[in-house]
């Protein structure tokens, strides 16, 4: 992937919500959404321009998909690994 090529993850992940929009959709406060992201109750991603977004696929009928938190907890060790653009 180069600067001129689109990031393939954008197509894989699909549409995402901003913190404010996700909070509105869930009927939560922005602070609650951010805390749920930090606690891996919701999948929270950092974009290359350091924005926080929440993929839409984790919602069904306006609520987090059943079992999402359990899956994210299993993935916790991988989510903390350093990667491109991340220190650690």
Q: Distance (Å, rounded) from C-alpha 83 to C-alpha 75?
A: 15
What pLDDT score does 33 carry?
98
Q: Residue 23 corresponds to which tokens in the numbers above?
A: 């909070």
What pLDDT score does 17 carry?
97
Domain residues of the chain, as ranges?
10-79
> What's this model's pTM, rounded to 2 decimal places?
0.77
Predicted confidence (pLDDT) per residue in 44-56, tens digit: 999 888 999 999 9
Q: Is the pLDDT of residue 6 over 90?
A: no
Average pLDDT, the chain: 86
Q: Distance (Å, rounded) from C-alpha 63 to C-alpha 48?
A: 27
Indicate the helix (H) or strand (E) that contains 31: helix 30-38
Q: Which of 10-14, 27-31, 32-36, 79-83 has the lowest mean pLDDT?
A: 79-83
Q: Quickly name the fold that domain 10-79 has.
A: Multidrug-efflux Transporter Regulator; Chain: A; Domain 2 (1.10.1660)
């Amino acid at each position: 992937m180069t600067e001129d090529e689109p990031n393939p993850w954008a197509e894989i992940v699909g549409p995402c919500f901003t913190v404010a929009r996700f909070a509105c959709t869930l009927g939560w406060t922005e602070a609650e959404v951010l805390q749920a992201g930090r606690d891996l109750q919701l999948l929270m991603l950092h974009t290359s321009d350091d924005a926080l977004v929440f993929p839409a696929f984790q919602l069904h009928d306006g609520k987090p998909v059943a079992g999402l938190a359990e899956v994210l907890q299993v993935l916790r060790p991988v989510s903390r690994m350093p990667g491109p653009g991340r220190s650690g």
